[in-house]
Chains A and B, each alone.
Chain A
Amino acid sequence: MVHEIRVKVNGEWVEAAVPSHKRLLDFLREDLDLIGAKEGCGGGECGACTVLVNGEPINACLVLAVEADGQEILTVEGLAREDGLDPIQEAFIENAALQCGYCIPGMVMSAKALLLRNPQPARDEVVEAIAGNLCRCTGYARVVDAIMQAAAAGQASKSRGGE
């Protein structure tokens, strides 16, 4: 069975017809060519497919596209703004907090969700927030450093009257 859905993806409304069983991850990757979210396990274990639905991080491999009807989705492709990268992306670059990069879009989106709800997290809160994002390369330390730095940069920009 095919369903008509209307989803706001990275700030733009998209209308599509999707079969009942189509996963949100496949809708994003195959129908919209948003290949930033990756499939690492297909079972909600690795977090490589993390995207935000209404600001909350979810595993796009565990959600059906029809469930996203009427919702607002943010993928890694929608994170950078006209005037440059998101501070999280900048911090990942500066800290060399990436290697093969396959987990990074999901990792960055989990960090985004954290900083949206908790702009000044403690280090253990950062660790907790990325507990569902597996990485086999980096050993995580630089990833946590990067998210802490992004949080600090966000605060600094606020106190200067930014955002």
Chain B
Amino acid sequence: MAGESYIGACVVRKDALEKVTGAARYAGDLKFARMLHAKLLRSKCAHARLVRVDTSKAEMLPGVKAVVTGRDFPHRMGLYLVDRTPYAVDKVRYYGEPIAGVAAVSPEIAEEALQLIEVEYEELPPVLDLMEAVKPGAPLVHPELHEYEHVPAIFPVPCTNISNHFKIRKGDVEKGFAEADLVVEDTYYCPHIQHSPLETHAAIALYDREGKLTVWASSQSPFAMRKILSHSLKWPMDRIRVIGPYVGGGFGGKAGLNVEATLVPLAIKARNYPIKLVCTREEEFRDTFVRQGMQCRLKTGVKRNGRITAQEFEMYWDGGAYTEYGVNVTRAAGYSSAGVYDIPNMKTDSYCVYTNKPVGGPLRGFGHGENHWAIEQHMDQIAHKLGMDPVEFRMINLQREGSTNATGQVLHNVGIGKCLEEAARLIGWTRVTRPGKVEPGTKKVRAKGIACMTKAPAMPNDAASSAIVKLNDDGTVLLNISAQELGQGAFTVLAQICAEELGVRYEDIRIHPVDTDHGAYEWQTVASRITYSTGRAVMEAARDAKRQLIDHASRYFGVRPEDVDVLAGEVFVKDDPEKRVPVSKLALGATLPDFSGYGGPVVGRGKFIPEGIVAMDAETGQSPKPVANWTYGAQAVEIELDLETGKVEVKKVAAVYDAGRVINPATAAAQVEGGVVQGLSIGLFEEMRFDERGRL
């Protein structure tokens, strides 16, 4: 590809060949000698005291190598709030919570052993209704909440079920509502849903004779997993190694530490045996992270001319039994609670609430999909009440250059206006002020709808990336990064960036599965951050490697460094095309005319941290730069609704995003296509329902 840029090119995905031939290895495909199989005994009550857990019969079953319960391993773990134990300790908090784990020589024996474990429950009143859970005097899911460690950005309310209360206080809402000609108020609800990756969670843990714990996991977060385990076990990080093969779909559900934690005490007990756990589809639905449900009340004041004067937003999140990750979802929904609109006066309260339901966690764009579900429906309602077209009404209120968002941040380069215009154009939007008309002779209505979005990565202010670019003797390149390939195309775009910056062929770059012992540091593969964060680190590492190559070349050719360049795997003197050598000639150093050596093996190093992010004020949520960046987009649909059956048929979707510079148009478009279909499914079909005993 000499002379052409790799940036913006639809190169073949790095993972394509392995994936179409069945050679790609996922955690569940790994197999080791002496490997044991784990199964978990799960709670049959949503909220109960564990009076007795008797594992003695299970322990005596031939083939069983280890049995553990919560009492064996009462370590609390968590990413943002340390509230979760791998197994229930003395009390169960949701129907499905692990009570005991068994490791045996076969899955069948492990399953048989589970049947031999006796559990005696003393049932407690289950906390299943979200709005009841926040009332004073409600039974507490975690009476010890005030003792739990948490990051500074989280605000638990002791002696309640509220594990985080995020606030926005901007301007003066009372004054804003007083100035309004119309106040619109409504409530909205988002159900629990499940990520449903095709690959269920799988992990293998080995605690070896040297006292080292190795975990192979289907995980978006090998480094974060190591950090959580190290913190909780109080072990130095060099005793914990996490290896991440390909992930068969994550969507947030494989972020942080998940079912892997249940293997740790088993591995410690059955030392020197690798122990494998593969979740069943049923466990995947209920017992891995779910998207928490949300109920909210949204109230907006607006002038006759369509200008919004004030907004009050109260969100209650059904966080489930443990909210170690879920608290951050509620924070994200809070700081983005203005949506794409410029609202001068705002009051937002976002509450994360413990209930006796499955564990809430991150799901794709977490917090934002849910709050926009409310905001965008609300905007349509206001437009209809004002007799305005929904697009026109949105246009009046959109954030633009110099606007402020919910956090008071002054915005620049705001792309939403163009996105909205383009989405409206693509769907063939015509001015709408009334509901759609019934097609003559049918019971069907055709209608168009449009919605806007903004999203900012919800992550610690110091979430960092790094990269190492190592040249092999023959000029091929090992790109050492620890971003995880979840299907989003990370390996492909990072290799493109490396090829472009280093001046080598894309085909000559290799990326290996993540390994915390040998890989460059990466916080987590979440928050839509890899292309710009790891990408920047790769860019810096490739430039560093290129500088070393050029240094070698300048001595080799006897010219100034600025006279040398690298392109398509060749190092050459710019003004003298005869003077050129393949990268391999200089990859390990240069051999000079007198046969002496110079330089040494090329290893480039790069890093990135999104600088300048300032913590939001605890009381007002205000900050000049609360997040790394805001992404904007708009989507429009045309549907046909059957008035008799209620069936919705989606005829057309237009999706427009201000994506910045696209590295690979094919993988970027594929992300949007897949996201649209997943979004349609979530919006139209998906819901997890629980009965009065808290059973899914």
Chain A residues at the B interface, C-beta cutoff of 8 Å: 29-30, 33-43, 45-46, 48, 75-77, 79-80, 85, 89, 92-94, 96, 98-105, 108, 134-142
Subset of 17 A-B contacts with CB under 8 Å? A29-B29, A30-B31, A36-B22, A36-B23, A38-B26, A40-B281, A42-B281, A45-B281, A48-B198, A79-B21, A92-B20, A101-B18, A101-B19, A108-B20, A137-B198, A138-B677, A142-B673
Interface centre among B198, B486, B487 (most CB of A within 10 A): B198
- Judged by a CB distance under 8 angstroms, whether B510 is at the interface is no
Return chain B residues, CB-CB under 8 Å to A96. 10, 13, 16, 489, 666-667, 670
Bound Cα distance A37, B667 (Å)? 25
Closest residue on chain A to residue B17 by CB atoms: A93
Give chain B residues whose Cβ lies under 8 Å from the Cβ of A89: 20-21
Contacts of B105 in A (CB 8 A): none
Give the Cβ gap from B245 to chain A, nearest Cβ, in Å: 11
Is A46 within 8 A of B198, CB to CB?
Answer: yes
Considering the complex, which residues of chain B in the window 1-56 have a beta carbon less than 8 Å from any beta carbon of chain A?
A: 10, 12-13, 15-26, 28-29, 31
Give CA–CA (A99, B13) in the complex, Å: 9
With contact pairs A93-B13, A136-B196, A136-B678 given, residues A35 and B20 touching in the complex (Cβ less than 8 Å): no
Chain B residues, CB < 8 A from A137? 198, 249, 487, 674
Give B199's nearest chain A residue, CB to CB: A102
Pick from A76, A101, A102, A138: contact of B673, CB under 8 Å: A138
List B contacts of A30 (CB < 8 A).
31
Residues of B within 8 A of A142 (CB): 670, 673
- Residues from chain A with a CB closer than 8 A to the CB of B247 are 100
Report B401 CB to chain A, min CB distance, Å. 34
Additional A-B contact list (20), CB under 8 Å, known A36-B22, A42-B280, A98-B16: A33-B31, A37-B22, A38-B28, A39-B28, A40-B198, A40-B281, A41-B281, A45-B281, A77-B23, A85-B20, A89-B21, A96-B13, A98-B13, A99-B489, A100-B247, A101-B19, A108-B20, A135-B198, A136-B198, A139-B676
Q: Report the number of A-B residue pairs with Cβ-Cβ less than 8 Å.
A: 129
Set of chain B residues within 8 Å of A38, measured between Cβ atoms: 26, 28, 198-199, 248
Looking at A38, A43, A103, A105, the one whose CB has the most chain B CB atoms below 10 A away is A38
Counting chain B CB atoms within 10 Å of each CB, which of A41, A85, A134 scores highest?
A: A41
Q: Report how far A39 CA is from B10 CA in the complex, Å.
A: 31
In the complex, the answer to whether B20 meets A100 with C-beta atoms within 8 Å is no
A39-B28, A76-B22 known; A139 and B677 CB under 8 Å?
A: yes
User: Cβ of B487 and Cβ of A99 under 8 Å apart?
Assistant: yes
Is B200 in the interface zone, CB < 8 Å from A?
yes
Residues of A within 8 A of B17 (CB): 93
| Cβ < 8 Å to A, chain B residues 229-255 | 246-251
State A86–B21 Cα separation when bound (angstroms).
Answer: 9
Contacts of B10 in A (CB 8 A): 96
- Nearest B residue to A41 via CB reads B281
**Which residues of B lie under 8 Å from residue A138 when comparing CB positions?**
670, 673-674, 677
A107 to B, closest residue via Cβ: B20
Q: In the complex, which residue of chain B has the Cβ closest to the Cβ of A30?
A: B31
The 8 closest A-B pairs by CB, nearest first: A36-B22, A99-B487, A100-B487, A102-B248, A101-B19, A139-B677, A76-B22, A102-B198
Summarize A's interface: helix, strand, loop or mixed.
Answer: loop
Among A43, A75, A136, A140, the residue within 8 A (CB) of B22 is A75
Residues of A near B671 (CB, < 8 A) are 99
- Are A99 and B670 interface neighbours, CB within 8 A? yes
List chain B residues, Cβ under 8 A from A134.
Answer: 198
Which chain A residue lies CB-closest to B16? A93
User: Which residue of the partner chain A has the closest CB to B251?
Assistant: A136
Instruction: Report which residue of A35, A99, A135 has the largest number of chain B beta carbons within 10 angstroms of its beta carbon.
Output: A99
Task: Provide the residues of chain B in CB contact with A135, threshold 8 Å.
Answer: 198
Task: State which of A48, A92, A140 has its C-beta within 8 Å of the C-beta of B677.
Answer: A140
Given A38-B199, A102-B26, A102-B249; A139-B674 close (CB under 8 Å): yes
Within 8 A of A (CB), among B439-487: 486-487
User: In the complex, what residue of chain A is closest to B672 when comparing beta carbons?
Assistant: A139
Q: Is the CB of A92 within 8 A of B199?
A: no
Q: Are B673 and A100 in contact (CB under 8 A)?
A: no
B272 interface residue (CB < 8 Å to A):
no
Give the distance in Å from the alpha carbon of A64 to the alpha carbon of B193 in the complex.
Answer: 33
* Min CB gap A147→B, angstroms: 12
Say whether B584 faces chain A, with CB atoms less than 8 Å apart. Answer: no
Contact A36 B281 (CB under 8 A): no
Question: Whose C-beta in chain A lies nearest to the C-beta of B196?
Answer: A136
Q: Chain A residues with Cβ under 8 A from B397's Cβ?
A: none
- In contact, A76 and B21 (Cβ under 8 angstroms): yes
Please indicate which of the listed interface residues B10, B249, B486 has the most CB atoms of chain A within 10 Å of its own CB.
B249
A77 to B20, CA, bound (A): 9
A137 to B29, CA, bound (A): 20
